[in-house]
Amino acid sequence: MTSETNLIQFDLVSPEKKLISEAVTMVVIPGEEGDFGVLSGHAPVVSTVRTGVVKVYPMSLKDTPIKIFIAGGFADVTAHQCTILAEQAMVVSEMNEAALDQDIQSLKDDLSAAESADDKRKLQKRLDLALAQKAAIAA
Amino acid sequence: MPSLKEYRNRIASVKSTRKITSAMKMVAASKLKKAQDAAQASQPYASAMAAMLARVAEGLTSTAGGPKLLVGTGSDKIHLLVVVSSDRGLCGGFNGNLVRFARLRIEKLVAQGHEVKLVTVGRKAFDLLRRDHKEKIVASFKDIGKVGFANAAEVSDLVFSKFDENDFDVCSLIYNDFRSVLAQVPTSQQLIPFSLPEKQIAANQNNAQENAAPKIPYEFEPDEEKILEDILPRNISVQIFRAMLDSAAGEQAARMTAMENATRNAGDMIKRLTLQYNRARQAYITKELIEIISGAEAV
């Protein structure tokens, strides 16, 4: 398990660019039907991914994982490769909690001031996303 | 015949025009590089998406009763055309060709008895189509600037909400396909109902047979239909995003070519005007000399 030869190629791509592409030991993905860990030699799976945190263990399982926040997407796993398609992704340790709090507050204000149902829906979506990000930092 | 001063002014004005066009050409060239890089950077996602779609399609037993985005509404009465153009002009026939293509499309659909609705992306498409198809435009997006995925998501969100309201049956995308720096071809692509990439599935199967490796069946979580339901809208957003990136790169390429031509034309014009100016000057000098000589002879 801890041997460094058993690595799996992990790619995280967003529509705008390839965010991460490297060989890692394990990836824990928040799947639609529960979190699952992916090691080298995993059975091929295609799964939808919830909004949440992907944990990447670069070298060994004892390392502290790199946490990456993902706003939903898809995972495509084969024995040697794990690809996650995400529309939005950011490393949790690089997120700014103070700025996020401010965002949440202003979104809440906007939401209560919003008139049309369409605006409300859009703002609610953004607020949910911001709250999920905050939860990711807290976790 | 224009006076010498008039010639000088003309030459000066054409020279300053040439300066502007050559600067625009250089700006377009550097923007083109950036736009092409952006288009390239979006490639991994698009290809991963296509591969995943192919896999899901392969696992799918039948498309009957699938998601509405795939099977359509069962009619093809109302067509929605999403026309992607640029925001700015001075890029040769880029927008003109696109809009002409879109007009032909509209006329054909109307002649076949379909109803047409339009969504325009970019200022130029709106300005040009407004003249004769104003009542057909249901929404327009302008001043996009640098294309990001958020812009494409905005467009696709609108398309989905219209689709949910049963505002149209068939949706196609009309955009300038970036073939090369010299060629941008107006292209139409159907988005809804979406056709699964059958060719790719066939290719996958061929590959599998050639490798003769035992094929491990894929697992799907939650299941094929659910994933398809989720993946199709995102795929459409990606297609729109790709079209917008292609169009942005094409716009810069077209502008670069147009400005290069304009710079060359200005150069030719300056040469011609300088020649005429010199001739006129020569004629003027000769005339003065003749006057002096004949004056001297008369004395």
Q: In which residue ranges of chain A is pLDDT below 70?
A: 1-5
Decide: B97 and B133 in contact? Cβ < 8 Å. no
Indicate if the pLDDT at residue B212 is higher than 50: no
Domain ranges of chain A: 4-92, 96-138
CATH superfamily of A4-92: F0F1 ATP synthase delta/epsilon subunit, N-terminal (2.60.15.10)
Tens of pLDDT, residues B138-196: 999 988 888 888 899 889 989 988 988 888 999 999 999 998 898 999 999 888 887 66
B229/chain A closest Cα distance in angstroms:
11
Q: Tokens for B280?
A: 């006129």
Residues of A in contact with B149 (CB under 8 A): 14-16, 87
Neighbour count for residue B40 (Cβ, 10 Å): 12
Domains by residue range for chain B, with CATH: 4-23+257-298 (1.10.287.80), 42-255 (3.40.1380.10)
Contact between residue A8 and residue A42 where contact means Cβ atoms under 8 Å apart? yes
- Our measurement of the distance from residue A15's CA atom to the centroid of its chain's CA atoms, rounded to an integer in Å, reads 14
Active site amino acids of B: 91
| pLDDT in the model for residue A2 | 46
The stretch B74-87 carries a mean pLDDT of 90
Test B49 with A33 for CB contact under 8 angstroms. Answer: no
β-bridge partners, B184:
B178
| Predicted confidence band of residue B222 (pLDDT cuts 50, 70, 90) | confident
Distance from CA of B160 to the nearest CA of A (A): 13
CB neighbour list of residue B209: distance below 8 Å, 6 or more residues apart: none
B55 touches chain A (CB under 8 A): yes
Is B214 at the interface with chain A, CB within 8 A? Answer: no
Cβ-based contacts under 8 A for chains A and B: 81
Closest Cβ–Cβ partner in B42, B52, B222 for A16: B42
- Give the model's pLDDT for residue B213: 44
More confident residue, A14 or B207: A14
Interface test with A, best of B221, B236, B241, B246 (most A CBs within 10 A): B221
| A55: Cβ contacts below 8 Å, ≥ 6 apart | A27, A28, A65, A66, A67, A68
